[in-house]
Chain A
Amino acid sequence: MFPHLSGLTLPCAPSRAGCTVRAFAWHPHTNKFAVALLDDSIRVYNSNSATVPSLKHRLQRNVAAMAWKPLCASILAVACQSCVLVWHLDPTSLSTRPSSGCAQVLSCPGHSPVTSLAWAPSGERLLSASPVDTAMLVWDVSTETCVQLQWFGGGGVTYLAWSPDGSKVLAATPSAVFRVWEAQMWTCERWPTIRGRCQTGCWSPDGSRLLFTVLGESVIYSLSFSEYRGEMQGQVGGSKTASIVADLSETTFETLYGEERIGGEVHSMVWDPTGERLAVIIRGHPESPNSQPAVAVFRTRNSPVFELLPCGFVRGERGARPQLISFHPCFPQGALLTVCWSSGKISHIPFFFVGALEPHASPRRSPVPVPAWHPRASPPSGAPHTCTGAGCAAPAPIKGGFSLPLLSSP
């Protein structure tokens, strides 16, 4: 029915074997995250509270994405098969089963399945998109009104990313083209790619640089934008061409377990809010048995010149593949990477460093990154574990499910 969607794989399609977590979302301001499970229920974990609310709704089918509303205590938008559900959770409530009356249903005919969501960083608007619908919707959630952003050609939208400064939005399509919208007058720039569709992308904290990857290529592209001033209404201001900043083709690494081959296409990519760490899920070659998916972490710097240096790999239990990665939006001591593994575990990997923007030089930052493997080095639970150049982080003990061991507030 939709030929252009044939090659499309959602981040976690139910058919994909070994997929256990459908979606994951950190709250932008607090130590709280939501996890969508395979049975389409959503659990909300909070470091300050033992109650784990479980959200269920009869329209909550095929959850593909979740996003917490910024500048708000507890509003969670969920992309479902037929609609966008907006849960209004009471942060002080002790109930474990919020009633479905707490959920607002945002639906628009022809706009399904919804697979990607993005809140404006100012918290006022919500974007929703579907790979089937050519229109992207801008919602005013409080009044449940929407505006369609329509264009011609390129199909729907498979991936949305709103830049942290709120000025631009990346919208990837199922065809070999992606668009960058400017979020004031909502005009867009069209970017054709050479080989395939844009798989994933992420913005630098100031919204001046976009890193993206393309299906079928094992490189990371960078696209820089002129600094946003607000005076150039209706201009996106992208540079002429994107440049390759990293080549991730397959390489052999010496590890404690012998040689391992890592490299290939990038499955997803996240940039931490300080702009100092970039985490990438590299999908291994499906043909060669040695190669397996891995999470690679890079150290990045955005100014005065863009720099991207390898930092290390994050590895889970044997056989566990990383599926979703996300950075904690406000981790004070550096960056906190959360990885959802195919084994159903979620691990938090902290990176302790002092931001480059700080006036004093960091004594803890070593100049040379040490890619190191420490698999199963931390009993009893065999947690995934990494070392950064800044020193080893405490392993995250994960006990059969989800926990927030590292986030107990001091």
Chain B
Amino acid sequence: AARAVIGRCQARRRRGRCVLGWRVAAAITWSVLLLPICTAAFIILSGLDPFHPVRWISNSFNDLYTSYVIFCIFLMSMVIIIISIFNIEFYAVVPSIPCSRLALIGKIIHPQQVIHSFVHAIMGMLVTWCATVMTKGRFQFLAVSCTPSEGLEDAVPQMCLNEYHLFFLLSGAFLGYSYSLFYLINNMNYLPFPIIQQYKYLRFRRSLPLLIKHSCVESLHFVRNFCVTYYFFGYIPKVWICTTMDLHTDGKLHPLDTLSGLLDLSLFYHTWLSGVFLLMTWYIAWLLFKIYATESHHFPIQPTFAQETDQCLPKILNSNPPLLIKFLALQDLMLLSQYSPVRRQEVFSLSQPGGHPHNWTAISRECLSLLSDLTQRLIAQQEAAAAANGRAKPPVGELKVPPQTPEDMSFQSQRSNIVLRASMSPLVKPSLMPVKTSPGSDVGSPFSSPALNYKMGVVDIKSPWHGPVQSPHVMRRGPKLWTSVSDQQMNGSHHESFPVLSAARTGTEAVQPRFIYTWLQNKQEQIKTFLSKRALIMYFFSKHPEASIQAVFSDAQMHIWALEGLSHLVAASFTEDQFGVVQTTLPAILNTLLTLQEVVDRHFKLPHVSSKPPRISGSLVDTSYKTLRFALRASLKTALYRITTVFGEHLNAVQVSTEHKKRLQQFLEYKE
């Protein structure tokens, strides 16, 4: 069934909606099934009466079967389903990390998030309404009959506002909103993959104590915050409800937006308990979704039937499926390379007619392109950091990427890009070559962005001193215009030939739209620099260095799996690869890994980059995306050692550049 679902999703190519299919269904079913248990616990605890334990227990059990409790459970199941739908719509395998405070605010007021918060507030209100109904007692109804104030003895009973009920409902809305806010701020939509595989039940059982503790503490905080809010603003909804529903205030009761009104222990306990109940049911739905979604999936290597071709691991890796599917495929690759000799054999096998190692080629190509993408992104980020540090340009040729052998070039065209980019001065660089960036990367160095290169060409066209007269000579010296405009002006190349001029004119027209874009960008930069001098604005705009580093490595889990899968496969190929299919790609793999190793090493030497992971508290909220780069560094080294340990001296026969040979020797001697 899973295969069918995934296959359909493949066909539809819709963004991760139907991918989860049965997993989502199972998660929702379980969270709905767990709801009655939570409800029972809630009813028992809400009727807490330590002085008459027998009556308390028997009353609670009698309450369990009443029709209104069953109705509430039904209603809350609906709530759970809606919450689960939001979980599904909002999940992400690559967390989005706001780099500045402004970005965070932007995320909070994003329409999607506003809808999320609004719906959660409504749902919170519904849950607390159910809670009041199940608690019974004085909280149950919004309107209660009361006798008017003392003066009139013959007054008819009239309807008064039950402020406790209102307090409850508002607390539910507040909790729902807070939940939604924390969901966003803590990146709870991020699906972290577990470090070890375990059965779902065990994972759930392991997280349950944490979940209960977290719900209790969170509920306490939220209720405290709510009390403060109600103390200051509580009169607004009260008055509003009273006027719209034509209710009176009961003079005999203490108003709750006073200190004495809020110091009601029973009220506080019940609010807290319903908060715990709300958070627990929601967190259970969230946890189950996480557990189900990150469960490993078994992809076939070779199709048994022709129509299953789309669901095979090599096909999925090379196509562009929803990210979750790609993650699952890479995870499966890592698992099979490590644990399953039979499936490894399929990877190393040759195609039946033709004898091509299609499986291996597809898998290794995808892994290598992922890794070189990362290399490229890191180089870009390092250049940006270097530029920000005030260095005019990063040292040319620092990377020492070797000249490529032809088969390497054919294997990974992207890497050549890196070579050229690294060995050129940053200012004259890439206008000629397409800058390929991975879809997830939004980190472009200012020097590598095409815009700037056009900027260079554009500024001199626009500048009034030159008018239309452009010499190829000047064009070539374009980059220098940044520093020596006056120089150009004095030279004043007025006597240039006209054919060039016309050529320049056509060029101008072609460049026009880009020119506007560039101009806009310039303006934007100017505004930014202007604003950045104001302290308050600075506070919002300033980029948090740690956050930007986290953003660069936010999808590193993919690369970690690619590294592990590739290295385990290569290591296994030493004994298992009968046809020698891995040998042909070994130089490319070593080159990619060693280049990445150099770049990662340099990354950890940058300023602002801590070399140790921050302490992760064992809380329910997973922050493992913050430490992915350390995991990447470790698994990169382990991957290289895995290959060198298995191949040993044989690696001397592999064609790699001298630089890399030296590095490999270091690995062979265990000196890295």
Binding site for B on A (CB under 8 A): 27, 29-30, 71-74, 91-92, 104, 108-109, 122-125, 138, 140-145, 147-148, 150, 167, 184-187, 229-231, 234
Contact = CB atoms under 8 A, between A and B. Distances in A.
A72 B631 contact: no
B197 A142 contact: no
A71 B668 CA distance: 11
B199 A91 contact: no
Contacts of A30: 670
B631 A142 contact: yes
Contacts of B671: 73, 91-92
A142 B670 CA distance: 19
Contacts of A74: 670
Interface string B614-647: 0110100000100110110111011001100100
A30 B648 CA distance: 13
B342 A142 contact: no
24 contacts: A27-B670, A71-B642, A72-B637, A73-B672, A74-B670, A108-B618, A122-B568, A124-B638, A125-B195, A125-B196, A138-B195, A138-B196, A142-B613, A142-B631, A143-B613, A144-B616, A145-B195, A147-B198, A147-B206, A148-B206, A186-B197, A186-B198, A230-B336, A231-B342
A147 B194 contact: yes
B334 to A, nearest CB: 10
Given A29-B670, A184-B197, A230-B340, A144 B615 contact: yes
A62 to B, nearest CB: 23
B641 A72 contact: yes
Contact of B627 (A71, A73, A142): A142
A291 to B, nearest CB: 43
A208 to B, nearest CB: 14
A125 B41 CA distance: 38
A20 B399 CA distance: 50
B321 to A, nearest CB: 24
A140 B633 CA distance: 13
A30 B194 CA distance: 32
B383 interface: no
Interface in B552-598: 564, 568
Given A71-B641, A122-B338, A231-B342, A147 B612 contact: no
Contacts of A186: 196-198, 202
Contacts of B342: 229-231
Given A125-B196, A150-B206, A231 B616 contact: no
Given A108-B618, A143-B627, A147-B195, 9 more contacts: A91-B670, A104-B612, A122-B638, A123-B638, A124-B564, A124-B638, A142-B627, A142-B633, A148-B206
Contact of A231 (B340, B612, B642): B340
A150 B194 CA distance: 16
B294 to A, nearest CB: 13
A230 B341 contact: yes
Nearest to B628: A143
Nearest to A144: B613
B670 A123 contact: no
B345 to A, nearest CB: 11
A145 B638 contact: no
Contacts of B618: 108-109
A140 B631 contact: yes
B377 to A, nearest CB: 20
Interface of B: 194-199, 202, 206, 335-336, 338-343, 564, 568, 612-613, 615-616, 618, 624, 627-628, 630-631, 633-635, 637-638, 641-642, 645, 670-672
B198 A185 contact: yes
Contacts of B339: 167, 184, 230
Nearest to B616: A145
Nearest to B338: A122
Nearest to B334: A124
A142 B568 CA distance: 19
A143 B637 contact: no
The B interface is mostly helix, strand or loop, or mixed, namely: helix
A147 B196 contact: yes
A72 to B, nearest CB: 6
B619 to A, nearest CB: 12
A326 B469 CA distance: 82
A29 B648 CA distance: 11
A185 B197 contact: yes
Given A124-B564, A144-B627, A185-B198, A29 B634 contact: no
A27 B340 CA distance: 28
A133 to B, nearest CB: 14
> 5 closest pairs, A vs B, by CB?
A142-B634, A230-B340, A143-B627, A230-B339, A71-B641
A326 B645 CA distance: 22
B645 A140 contact: no
Contact of B638 (A27, A71, A234): A71
Contacts of B637: 72
Contact of B635 (A104, A142, A144): A142
A125 B670 CA distance: 20
Given A124-B564, A143-B616, A72 B197 contact: no
Nearest to B626: A143
A27 B339 CA distance: 25
Contacts of A167: 339
B624 A143 contact: yes
A278 to B, nearest CB: 25
A92 B672 CA distance: 8
Contact of B199 (A92, A104, A123, A234): A234
B625 to A, nearest CB: 10
A156 B183 CA distance: 37
Contacts of A230: 336, 339-343
A229 B568 CA distance: 16
B593 to A, nearest CB: 14
A143 B339 CA distance: 23
Contacts of B635: 124, 142
B645 A71 contact: yes
A144 B634 CA distance: 12
A106 B613 CA distance: 11
Nearest to A32: B670
Contacts of B645: 29, 71
**Most interface-central of A29, A72, A140, A142 (chain B CB within 10 A):** A142
B553 to A, nearest CB: 12
A316 B528 CA distance: 77
A185 B295 CA distance: 11
A141 B196 contact: no
Nearest to B623: A145
B627 A145 contact: yes
A44 to B, nearest CB: 13
A60 to B, nearest CB: 18
Given A92-B671, A142-B633, A229-B341, A122 B627 contact: no
B643 to A, nearest CB: 10
Nearest to B637: A72
Contacts of A123: 638, 641-642
Contact of A140 (B195, B335, B336, B341): B195
A181 to B, nearest CB: 11
A184 to B, nearest CB: 5
Contacts of A141: 634
B197 A143 contact: no
Contacts of B340: 229-231
A59 to B, nearest CB: 14
B558 to A, nearest CB: 16
Nearest to A141: B634
A229 B343 CA distance: 10
B333 to A, nearest CB: 14
Contacts of A92: 671
A232 to B, nearest CB: 10
Nearest to B202: A186
Contact of B642 (A73, A122, A140, A234): A122
